[in-house]
Every structure is written in structure tokens, then in C-alpha cells.
A and B are shown apart, each in its own frame.
Chain A
Amino acid sequence: MNGGKKIGPASTAILFLNLAMAKYLMVLPHFMVSEVGNSAWIVIFLKGLAAIGLFLLIAALYKPYVGMGLGELTRRALTSPLGGALNFIIVCVMLVRGGMLFRILTEALQTLETDTVTIEYVGLFVLIPVLICALKGFNANVNASILILPFTVLSVVIISVALAPHYEVGNLMPIFGEGEGKILETAFLRFGGTFELMYLMTLSRSMGDYKTFKRGGLIGVGAISLFSFIFTLIYCLSVPYPVSKNFFFPLYQLTRMIKAGSFLQRMEPTVIFVWTGVIICGLSTLVIAAAELLKNTSGTKGGGGFVPLLVMIIFLVGVLPRSELDTYGIYKVVVNISHYFYIGVILAVLLTARLRKVERGLAYEA
């Protein structure tokens, strides 16, 4: 699955960034604004700081086990049956989350394409590349992320610049939105970046040593914190509250506001390139990580065999909700629960491994 080659800190950071961007570009600013009002940008900033602290704590706990992979560590720390069951649950949560993300994307794309096509049809254009990328393995996924990231960042920069005439400082007022308490609660009690961190830990077998993991992760967390802070700030500056609460796809809505003269009359179809690229990358990583966990649980040699099955499950989970609103509801619940679930699992596994003095695995030595 990983092609046997290790990736460096820059690639690790880019992988982290791409994973997080799938979420940030799609829904996060909308979620934050609907939770804490127009102080969402402050929450994102604080969440970024909290995520850096959390990452450093987990990296320190994970230090002896970097290169082992979360799936293997779980099995070793919690014994085979319990660890295997936990891995299976993690995979299920991943798939539900992936399925919802897939559905949200396909709904957005359907809006942008044409109403005559079904979400299943749109979904094929997303899942076939995911399948190919996941089958090609981890390195292919990382390389694709590296190629996509500059376009994503460039498009967000262009959107930010093009939206400058719409910036209104008054849109940020009152500056603390729903109140300081709400800000602190959302920022510090709902951990950010745990989802991405779990992926990094699952795939750490392909990341060389601790230094790579720590540097790559730290750069990734820092960059995504900065990126999401800027993006949310632009969103809050451009769209007045509570109108911003009603927009489901922030990037799409922001692009709609751009007036690019007479040439590109409506720029929103161009976000398809960014959205689709980032989410295909994110879903591919999800599938690869899930396959890696299943591989560790089942004890098979390679995880490639699980890939088509996992892609199919994501598709089926994605088409289950009856409407877009249902999807949002489920996704919101899954995200809110999975924060605690992921952090709980990570801490429990790492602390147990430390207490039981689990030794480094063969994967690390290899």
C-alpha cells in the first residue's frame, strides 16, 4: 500500500493540510458561524493554538511508537481482540464521516453542474479517482496532494484578493459574537485537528522517524490553523451575520460574490476544481488509512484488497441520508462526537501503551 518509501516533513505537512482543507473549504466556517456567530474567526484562531498544544502533547506521548502505526499500536496496547474491535470502530467512524463528506461534496457539485444529473452520477466522478488513488497507494496520494495544494492555496488567495471590495469591518461587530463563554467553550472543549492527527498516526509507518512526524505535523497544524483563520476571517468580513449562518458552502458563496468584470461573469464553477481535487485527496487518504487499520486488524499482508470495499461503503453511506439537510445534521453530530472519540482513543491507546511498556514494533525497525 505505501510503496515502501518514506515521506519527509514537507510531504507530511502537505498531507495534513490537504486532509484538513477538505473540511475547512467545505463546511467549517459555516459550522463555526452557526455556533458562535461572527466571532468564528476568533474561535478558529484559538482552536489553532489549542490544536498546536494538543499535537505537541500527543507527539510527545507517541514518540517511542512513531513508525508503528496506530492500528498496530492499538492491537499491541489493548491486546488483539479489544484492539481489533477498537480499530474496527475507528474505521466505522471514519467511513461514516467520509460518507457524509462525500455526500456534502456531491450535493454541492450537483448544484454547480446541473440539476439533471443525480448525486450517484456526480459521485462516480469523485469515487473512481478515489479508488484509483487509494489502490496506487500512500505515496501516490501524497504526491497528488502536493500537486493539488498550490492550486488550492492560489485559488483561495485569488478569492481573498478579489473579495477585497466586499470587506466590511462592521461585519465583525460585535467582536465577541455570542459571548466570551461560548467562544472559549467552542475553542477549547471541541478539539480541532484530531481527525487529521489520527490519520497521521495511522499512516506514520510511511513517515520515517519521529523528527519527520513532529516537524511535518507541526508545520501542518500551524499552516492549517493560519489558513483556516484567514479564510474564516474573510468569510466573516465579507458576509454579514446572520446571513453568513444560512450559507452552506462558504467557498461557493464567496466565489459568487466576486465580480470579475465582463470576462468571467460567474466564477463559481471554477471552485469545482478546488473542491473536487481537495476532497478526492482527503477521501483517498481516508480510504488508505482505513485499509491500513483493517490490515492491522486482520493481519493480512496488504491493505489493497480492502480499498474497493471501503470505497463502496463510503458511497452507500453517502447516499443514505434523504436530503442535504439530513446530511448536514448527521455530519454535524458525527464531527462533534468524533472529536471526543478520536482524542479519547488516541490518549487511551498511548497511555495504555506507555503503562504497559509496549515495545516498538517490527514496522519501525524495518
Chain B
Amino acid sequence: MFRVLIETRDTEFVTTQICAIFCLIGIFHEFPAHNTQEVMRVKFRDLFLYSPERDEGVFILDEPSYPPTDYDPQMNEGGPELTGSYKKDKAAFDREMEKDLNGDLKIREFTTRVAGRDVKCAAYFFDGLVDKSGVNDFILRPLMLGSRATEIRSYSDIMNVLLVQSEVKETNTIGTLAFDINFGSVILLIEGYGKAISVDAKGWEHRGIESPEVEKVIRGPNDAFSEQIRESTALIRHLVRNKSLISREFSVGTISQTPVSLMYIKNVAGEQLVREVERRIKSIEVDYLFSSAELEQYLEESSLITLPQFMATERPDRAARALLLGRVVVLVDGSPFAIVMPTTVFELNESAEDHYLRTPYVNMIRGIRFMAFLCSLLLPGIYVAVVNFHGEILPTDMLISIVAARDKVPFPTIVEIIIMELSLEIIREAGARVPTPSGTTLSIVGALILGQAAVSAGIVSPILIIIVSIAAIGSFATPNYYLGISARILRFIYIFLGAVGGFLGITAGAFVNAVLWTCTYSVGVPMFVPVAPITKGGVPKTLVYPRIWKQDYRDDYVNPRRRRKQQSARGWKKDEN
């Protein structure tokens, strides 16, 4: 059928056949009576004449009708006030919490004794969100038994005498109660009180503090952030024991109400930077937020540039260091990664280990990393360019062996390399999705056996396997995961440019890449600073990692309030003199 399609010159026939194929694969099975040729015509027209009114596409003929909803974006804020009548308030709160639908909502009704008489009480909490033994021992037991053993003269004594929890508050708006209960509080409705008491009893199951998965080091500390925002902020506070360390709290997500923490050191971070990050976080109006990776995308300036614009770290020591260097750190509840901002492309090439290594080691490793990144980005493209355009650059013997190796390969170089790159990407993706033991096996099978089989079958040449492998290893050597992905994407573009324009194509691509990357900003700070644009003293420091006792100043491009970070790093040396 495809052959007929290709060979025929009758356009109407071709169109009909294309539409028939679409019908066969089921795209139009919902619209059997629709004129398929008309649909195709409209579809192609729509490709060029985009209109927001038509953005559902032509295949959706009728506006889908959704059942009416009582969804209220402000559902977690304010709401009706408690009436003071236990019965009415309980009924209202039951309704608010969808008692009949929520299986994990637990309600414990009991009586307590206030001013010599028994009053009805109801404790609401979500099973799994609270520490049950804490609820039993420190909320229910004092209210049920303690109130009878101790004299409770008034309602205020419940909070002051009976409830020994650290966080207890009273409130009279149902919306606030609903908000608190979702954050692991126990809500107490007490007959005759007129208000409700919210007792913090968080105690859900979570992962503890573990070793870093991505940023492993040999000499540094080995703890990583966890999904619990409080644990993460505490880990930073444990390292920066200073009253100037500020942790501003925000709630992002109209429905999810995800806690977000903006951390900075008041006397170090630039005021403008803090204000800007705060402004951006506050401006986010979305229904939900689950991860710092999502938040990153809401905060970044250029979403289509492959270059990551913030640094994500799972290490508290790295985040603490960034804070001390005048950056701000953003933590999101439920995400074990902190976002460091602003960041530069040179910082993305740094690993967590760098600060724990001696200067000569760091310089060597950084150089190797830079070369690895360049290999990952350009090597396959350069190979294609050399084979297609600049064969003379290679020694004759080598050229002959490359040509001989390619002799049995039926494809042009670009096809050959794209087959290999795509295969590698598929293996990588598959390896990431399957369980760890199988993932390792899959990588070995994919890389070794398939590679060898491809060479034996004459689909690709042996030298190409070497090139693709070096490029792949280069992307793994890049410390920042996103930067590695960026190189993987751009590699395809450089392969294409190398195939169509040789070194000229690669240079043109690299120039455009440089222009686009240098125009990218991280919270207003150019990503290539301090090199492009140049800042005073920034270039030597970027090219050669200075000795630790020479790193006297913070980077000026973040406008820190306190520029100098060490006064006399090696005072003993002066004493000797």
C-alpha cells in the first residue's frame, strides 16, 4: 500500500489512502460518519493557522461535557465559622471532610470533664498522617482520664493543662481546621466550647535520612535530604548554626498546599536576590506541586533552552555552602532535592567532592570533566564531519582502517551513528525503568552483546562503537544530571550539523549554542558569569580552582551583603614569620 502511495501521482487518491490508513489504525473510529478528506484538509490547515479556539484539534468534534463540580480553588482557606453548637459544628465539619467518602478519616467520640460536668468531644484525624500512640497517650488519655483526675475549671485549661503537645492552637474557621487536619493535626470539637482545638500530631511513615544517591563523595559527609521538609531544613540548620539563617515558609498549590521553604542567610544573601525569588514563588498559582523539579520549571526564565538554570542538590552540606556563599536555597516538601539559585554553568560542572579535595586534584578532575562534557557533546558530530568532509585530517593508515571497517556497512555514516545513538538512549531509558539487578544486566546485554552483534552483522562499524561509547561515558562524567541530558540532546543536533556542514556546521552550531547559553539567566544572573560577561577577578578563579585559603571573597555577581568570607585563613603562617 505504501508503495502504491509513493508511486502514484493522483493526489486525491493519495489523500484518500492516507485517510484510510488513519481510519484503519483507529484514529477515526469514534467518528465513522465524518468526511475523512475534510478532516485531513482541516488538520493540515490547522498546522499553519493555529488558533487558540481550535486548539483541541479537529478530531474532537463536540466540546466534552464534564459533570458540574463544586470545586472551589479557595477550598483550603477561610470557610464558614463554627457556630458554637456542637451538633451543628460537628455536622458541618463531617460534611467538609466528606466523612462518608473518606475511609481514612477517623473520628473518636468521647466525653471529657470540664468545670465538673461531662461534655461531648470528637477527635478527628487522618489515619496514617498522625502518630497514633502519641494521639492515644497525649491527647485522648489526658482528655478522657486526665480531666477526671485533675480539676479542669474552664475550657482554656484544656489547652493549658491537659494537652501537653508542643503545637496546639484554637480556631473557629472550618477551612483552617481542614487545612490543619491534612497536615497531620488532630482536631478536637468540644461541646460548649465554641471553638475547635487543633493539636499537631504529625507522624506519618517516611524514609529516614540516608546516604546521597547521586552526589556521592569519599571525604565529605554522607547524609542526604529526605522527603520531609522539616528534616531537610533541620539538616541545614545543623550545619549553619546561626541566627541569621532564615527559613521563609510558603505554600504552593491551591489544592495540594505543598510547603515550600526559602532559606537564606540574612547578613550574606543579597536583598534583591531574596526578594526576586520570593516574588517568583509567590506568583505561582497552580493546583498542585509535588517536587522541586516542578518548582524549578516554574521559576526558570528560559524553558526551551536545554541548559539547566538552577542546581539541584541532595546534599545538605552543598546547600549550606551555597547559603554561605550568598545564594538562596529552596526546599519543597516531598522532594529530597534542594534548589540552589542562582547558579552558573561552571558550578554545574562542579561536583560535591570538589570542595573536599586538594587544589591540584580538583583542577585535574575539573579539566577531565570539561573534556568529558565536550566529548559527550561534540565527538559523534566531529566523527561524522571527519568521515564526510575532512578525511584528510586523519593519518592515511587510520583513514584506510576506518574506510575498511565501514566497507560492509550499508548505511551512510549519519544513519549508522543515529541508529547507535538511539539504541543507546533506548537501553539507557530501559535500564532506568527496570529494577536495579535487571537494569545492570540489561545495560551489559545492551552495550556489549548488541554492540558486538551489530558490528558482526555489519550494521555499524567498530570505530563507531568506540565513538558512541566515549560520548555516552562523557555524559555520565558530567556531574549535573540535567547538563548531561542537555549534552545528549544537543549531540543529535551536532551530528546532523556535522553531516550537512562538516566542521563549519559544527562551528555554526557551537556559536548559536554559545549565544543562546550566554543569554540564559539564573534569577537574573547570566549563566556564563564570571567569564561572559567578565567580572573582576572571576576568570582566573573559574579557570583554575584557587587554594582554599585564598578563597577570601564571595562571588560579586550574586551581590552578597558580606563580600569577604575569610579574614585570615592561615593565621599560623603569619605567626611563624
Interface residue ranges, A against B (CB under 8 Å): 5, 7-8, 10-11, 14, 109, 112-114, 122, 125-126, 128-129, 132-133, 136-137, 139-144, 146-148, 262-267, 269-270, 272-273, 276-277, 280-281
Instruction: Please give me the residue from chain B that is nearest to A9 by CB atom.
Output: B534
Interface pair A144/B507, CB less than 8 Å apart: no
Q: Report which of A7, A10, A142, A276 forms a contact with B504, defined as CB distance below 8 A.
A: A276
* Contact between A126 and B508, CB atoms less than 8 A apart: yes
Please give the distance in Å from A299's CB to the nearest CB on chain B.
27
Specify which chain B residues have a CB less than 8 angstroms from the CB of A270 in the assembled complex. Answer: 393, 503
A85–B526 Cα gap in the complex (Å)? 38
Cβ-defined contact, A147 with B532, below 8 A:
yes
28 pairs of residues in contact across A and B, judged by CB atoms under 8 Å: A5-B533, A8-B534, A11-B533, A112-B504, A125-B507, A125-B508, A129-B512, A133-B515, A136-B515, A137-B519, A139-B519, A141-B515, A142-B532, A143-B514, A143-B515, A143-B528, A146-B531, A146-B534, A265-B392, A265-B393, A265-B395, A265-B396, A269-B389, A269-B390, A269-B503, A270-B393, A277-B507, A280-B508
Q: Are A143 and B504 in contact (CB under 8 A)?
A: no
- Known A-B contacts A7-B533, A136-B519, A265-B394; the reply to A122 vs B504 at CB < 8 A is yes
Contact A276 B511 (CB under 8 A): yes
Most buried by B among A126, A129, A132: A129
CA distance A210 to B403 in the complex (A): 59
B514 lies within 8 A of A109 (CB)? no
Chain B residues, CB < 8 A from A144: 511, 514-515, 518, 532
C-beta contact mask, B482-515 vs A, less than 8 Å → 1, else 0?
0000000000000000000111111110111011
Central interface residue in B501, B505, B516, by most chain A CB within 10 Å: B501
- Chain A contacts of B503 at CB under 8 A? 112-113, 269-270, 272-273
Contact B512 A132, beta carbon cutoff 8 Å? yes
User: Are A147 and B518 neighbours in the complex by a CB distance under 8 Å?
Assistant: yes
Would A276 and B507 count as touching, CB distance under 8 A?
Answer: yes
Asked whether A277 lies within 8 Å of B511 as measured between CB atoms, the reply is yes
Partner of B515, one of A7, A8, A140: A140
**In the complex, A280→B513 CA distance in Å?**
13
In whole Å, how far is B333's beta carbon from the nearest beta carbon of chain A? 37
Query: Complex formed: what's the CA distance from A140 to B533 in Å?
Result: 9
In the A-B complex, the 4 residue pairs with the closest CB atoms = A143-B518, A143-B532, A146-B532, A269-B390
The one of A8, A113, A143 that contacts B389, using a Cβ cutoff of 8 Å? A113
Residues of chain B lying within 8 A (CB to CB) of residue A141: 515
Answer whether A147 and B502 are a contact pair too, CB < 8 Å, given A113-B389, A139-B533, A280-B511.
Answer: no
| Candidates B390, B394, B531; contact of A147 at CB < 8 Å | B531
> From residue B260, how far is it (CB to closest CB) to chain A in Å?
31
Q: How far is the CA of A263 from the CA of B394 in the complex (A)?
A: 6
Q: Which residues of B contact A (CB under 8 A)?
A: 389-390, 392-397, 501-508, 510-512, 514-516, 518-519, 526, 528, 531-534
A269 to B505, CA, bound (A): 12
A273 to B518, CA, bound (A): 19
Q: Hey, which chain A residues are within 8 Å of B528, CB to CB? A: 143, 147
Q: How far is the CB of B495 from chain A (nearest CB, A)?
A: 16
* One of B392, B504, B515 near A109 (C-beta < 8 A): B504
Q: Complex Cα distance A69/B151, Å?
A: 86
User: Which residue of chain B has its CB nearest to the CB of A117?
Assistant: B501
- What residue in chain B is nearest A264 (Cβ atoms)? B393
Asked if A269 contacts B519 (CB within 8 A), the reply is no
What's the nearest-Cβ distance from chain A to residue B504, in Å? 5
Instruction: Closest A residue to B505 by CB, please name it.
Output: A125
Q: Is the CB of A125 within 8 A of B504?
A: yes
Q: Which residues of A contact B507 (CB under 8 A)?
A: 125, 272-273, 276-277, 280
Given pairs A148-B514, A269-B389, A277-B511, 16 additional interface contacts (CB within 8 A): A8-B534, A109-B504, A112-B503, A112-B504, A113-B502, A113-B503, A125-B501, A133-B511, A139-B533, A140-B519, A143-B519, A147-B514, A147-B528, A265-B394, A266-B392, A276-B508
> Which residues of chain B come closer than 8 Å to A129, judged between CB atoms?
508, 511-512, 515
Could you tell me the distance between the alpha carbons of A113 and B390 in the complex, rounded to whole angstroms? 7
User: Complex Cα distance A79/B370, Å?
Assistant: 54
Chain B: CB-nearest residue to A265: B395
Q: Nearest Cβ distance between residue A267 and chain B, in whole angstroms?
A: 7
- Give B388's nearest chain A residue, CB to CB: A114
Q: Output the least CB separation between B398 and chain A (Å).
A: 8
CB distance from B262 to the nearest CB of A (A): 27
Q: Which residues of B have CB within 8 Å of A272? A: 502-504, 507
Question: A11, A122, A269: which contacts B534 (Cβ < 8 A)?
Answer: A11
The answer to whether A269 touches B511, judged by C-beta atoms less than 8 angstroms apart, is: no
- Please indicate the chain A residues that have their CB under 8 angstroms from the CB of B531 in the complex: 146-147
Bound complex: CA A5 to CA B515 (Å):
16
For A274, the closest partner residue in chain B by CB is: B507
Check B392 against A132 for contact (C-beta < 8 Å): no
> CB-CB < 8 A to B532: which residues of A?
142-144, 146-147
Q: Whose C-beta in chain B lies nearest to the C-beta of A122?
A: B504
Q: What is the distance, in angstroms, from A314's C-beta to the closest C-beta of chain B?
A: 16
Which chain A residues lie closer than 8 Å to B533 at the CB level?
A: 5, 7-8, 11, 139, 142-143, 146
A136 to B526, CA, bound (A): 14
Tell me, rounded to whole Å, the shortest Cβ–Cβ distance linking B442 to chain A. 37
Which chain B residues lie closer than 8 Å to A264 at the CB level? 393-394
Chain A residues in 8 Å Cβ range of B515? 129, 132-133, 136, 140-141, 143-144
B391 → chain A closest CB, angstroms: 9
Closest to A106 in B: B504
Q: Considering only CB atoms, which chain A residue lies closest to B503 in the complex?
A: A272
Assess whether A263 is in contact with B504, with CB atoms less than 8 Å apart.
Answer: no
Closest B residue to A8 by CB, please name it. Answer: B534
Residues in A whose Cβ lies below 8 Å from that of B506: 273
The complex places the Cα of A22 from the Cα of B505 at a distance, in Å, of: 19
How far, in whole Å, are A269 and B507 apart by their CA atoms in the complex?
A: 12
Return the contact of A128 from the options B394, B508, B510, B519 (Cβ within 8 A).
Answer: B508
A141 to B506, CA, bound (A): 19
Give complex CA distance A162, B144 in Å.
92
Q: How far is the CA of A11 from the CA of B529 in the complex (A)?
A: 12
Q: Which residues of B contact A266 (CB under 8 A)?
A: 392-393
- Inter-chain contacts of B393 with A (CB < 8 A): 264-267, 269-270
Whether the pair B389, A114 counts as a contact (CB closer than 8 A) is yes
Complex Cα spacing A112 to B504, Å: 9
Residues of A within 8 A of B394 (CB): 264-265
Give Cα distance in the complex from A193 to B549, angstroms.
44
Judge whether B392 and A269 touch: CB under 8 Å.
yes
Task: Provide the bound-state CA to CA distance between A277 and B392, in Å.
Answer: 22
* B514 cross-chain contacts in A, Cβ below 8 A: 143-144, 147-148
B222 to A: closest C-beta gap in Å? 37
Please, how many angstroms separate the alpha-carbon atoms of A263 and B386 in the complex? Answer: 13
A253 CB → nearest B CB, Å:
15
Q: Which residues of B contact A142 (CB under 8 A)?
A: 532-533
Minimum CB–CB distance from B223 to chain A (whole Å) comes to: 38
Chain B residues positioned under 8 Å from A109 (CB to CB): 504
CA of A272 to CA of B386, assembled, Å: 13
Q: Which residue of A lies closest to B386 (CB)?
A: A269
The CA of A25 and the CA of B168, in the complex, are separated in Å by 76
* Shortest distance between the CB of A126 and any CB in chain B (Å): 7
A31 to chain B, nearest CB (A): 24
Tell me, rounded to whole Å, the shortest Cβ–Cβ distance linking A136 to chain B.
5
In the bound assembly, the distance between CA atoms of A126 and B511 in angstroms comes to 10
CA distance A5 to B526 in the complex (A): 12
Measured between C-beta atoms, what is the minimum distance from A293 to chain B in Å? 22
A151 CB to nearest chain B CB (Å): 10
* A residues near B512, Cβ cutoff 8 Å: 128-129, 132-133
CA distance A137 to B518 in the complex (A): 11
Question: Closest Cβ of chain A: how far from B297's Cβ, in Å?
Answer: 23
Q: How far is the CB of B100 from chain A (nearest CB, A)?
A: 60
A147 to B533, CA, bound (A): 9
User: Are the CB atoms of A140 and B518 closer together than 8 Å?
Assistant: yes
Check A263–B511 contact: CB distance below 8 A.
Answer: no
Please indicate the chain A residues that have their CB under 8 angstroms from the CB of B505 in the complex.
125
